[in-house]
């Protein structure tokens, strides 16, 4: 598939996830073959204020290319200015607009998936961003609608295509569903049938073979993987093997899991600093240290450990 002028041979993407897809996590997934990775969503208001923490969320390395930076906001003017600033300062390969976040602190301001309640505002924001960065492909990640009574698929597909969007990713749950219930893959198929643009499916891809199943059932051009990659960057390696018709490698051993967890931890401290990196790593311990006998006590000890030294000692004791 292509997004603008970007050729993507194996269309398996790392989804943007708030509080997760920072540089350390993106690099580990990229190493395992993720074709395109995305930043966690970044506030357009924070960008135009040149907030240091916001800038740090956008930073990336050339190893991660092609990479998409995802922004969110409730104003066409602010989103336009933010998009221009991101492109001028960081030169990402893709700029993505978040119309999918269901979190109340975002939607109550009219941003994220709240835009799906006002498609005219969505049109205005989209047009403003596309016009502000003509040299970079702009994409959209969205939900199916605000609730079960206001599904906007496939109405939105042709609208966004006319505005100059280069690809759309759909998580086929509503805002009200959040992450409960089941993702309705039939809506991905409906979106694909409504537009000539590339459509990327997302939601409930729980195993590597689910990537192929989503493509077969919906006709989507690519698949975006989110929660299934948590503590499991090997998901991409395995899905790519299936995509190529190759044998899936054996599952990582406990030693492999701990080794990757240690590398992730080191990256977190290097990127965020020891205090912040150590605190942010606690949730990742819960995702990595699972799936083997005796994992629970180690996981609990890591999550509650007081500092980096104690965490490293616990990891070194796992064999």
Tens of pLDDT, residues 186-243: 999 999 999 999 999 999 999 999 999 999 999 999 999 999 999 999 999 999 999 9
What pLDDT does 100 receive? Answer: 84
| Residues 266, 144: Cα–Cα separation, whole Å | 38
For residue 162, give both structure tokens: 């006319």
Q: Which residue(s) pair with 43 in the sheet?
A: 72
Asked if the model's pLDDT at residue 109 lies above 80, the reply is no
Q: What average pLDDT does this structure show over 8-18?
A: 97
HSE, side-chain direction, 13 A CA sphere, residue 37 = 28
| Domain coordinates in residue numbering, the chain | 2-244, 254-317
Could you say which of 101, 120, 220, 261 is catalytic? 101
- Please answer whether residues 199 and 220 qualify as being in contact, where contact means their C-beta atoms are separated by less than 8 angstroms: yes
Could you tell me the two tokens for 120?
């005219």
SS3 content of the chain, % helix, strand, coil (to 5): 50, 15, 35
101 has catalytic annotation: yes
- Residue 234: the pLDDT is 97
What local confidence, expressed as pLDDT, does residue 291 receive? 87
Q: What share of the chain has pLDDT > 70, as a percent? A: 100
Residue 95 pairs in a beta bridge with 69, 138
CA dist 73 and 257 (Å) reads 37
Lowest mean pLDDT across 244-248, 283-287, 288-292: 288-292
Residue among 68, 67, 73, 70 at smallest CA distance from 49: 73
| The CATH number fitting domain 2-244, selected from 3.40.30.10, 3.90.170.10, 3.20.20.70, 3.40.640.10 | 3.20.20.70
Residue 108 has pLDDT above 80, yes or no: no
pLDDT tens-place string over residues 153-199: 989 999 999 999 999 999 999 989 988 999 999 999 999 999 999 99
What is the pTM for the complete model shown? 0.95
Mean pLDDT over each residue of the chain, to the nearest integer: 95
Q: Is the pLDDT of residue 289 over 80?
A: yes
């Amino acid at each position: 598939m292509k997004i603008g002028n970007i050729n993507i041979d194996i269309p398996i993407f790392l989804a943007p996830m708030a509080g997760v897809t920072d540089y350390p996590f993106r690099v580990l997934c990229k190493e395992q073959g993720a074709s395109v990775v995305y930043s966690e969503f970044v506030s357009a208001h924070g960008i135009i204020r040149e907030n240091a923490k916001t800038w740090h969320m956008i930073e990336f390395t050339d190893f991660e290319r092609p990479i998409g930076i995802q922004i969110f906001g409730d104003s066409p003017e602010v989103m336009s200015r933010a998009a221009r600033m991101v492109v001028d300062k960081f030169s990402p390969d893709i700029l993505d607009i978040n119309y999918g976040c269901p979190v109340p602190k975002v939607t109550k301001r009219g941003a994220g998936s709240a835009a799906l309640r006002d498609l005219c505002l969505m049109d205005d924001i989209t047009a403003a961003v596309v016009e502000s960065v003509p040299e970079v492909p702009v994409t959209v990640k969205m939900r199916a609608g605000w609730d079960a009574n206001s599904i906007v698929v496939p109405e939105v597909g042709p609208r966004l295509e006319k505005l100059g969007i280069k690809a759309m990713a759909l998580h086929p749950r509503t805002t009200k569903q959040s992450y409960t219930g089941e993702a309705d893959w039939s809506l991905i198929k409906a979106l694909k049938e409504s537009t000539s643009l590339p459509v990327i499916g997302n939601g409930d891809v729980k195993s590597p073979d689910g990537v192929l199943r989503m493509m077969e059932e919906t006709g989507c051009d690519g698949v975006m993987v989110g929660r299934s990659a948590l503590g499991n960057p090997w998901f991409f390696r395995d899905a790519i093997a299936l995509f190529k018709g190759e044998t899936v490698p054996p599952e990582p051993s406990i030693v492999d899991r701990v080794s990757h967890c240690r590398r992730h931890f080191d990256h977190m401290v290097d990127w965020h600093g020891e205090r912040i990196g150590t605190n942010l790593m606690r949730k990742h311990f819960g995702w990595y240290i699972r799936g083997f006998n005796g994992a629970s006590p180690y996981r609990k000890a890591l999550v509650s450990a007081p500092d980096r030294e104690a965490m490293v000692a616990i990891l070194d004791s796992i064999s």
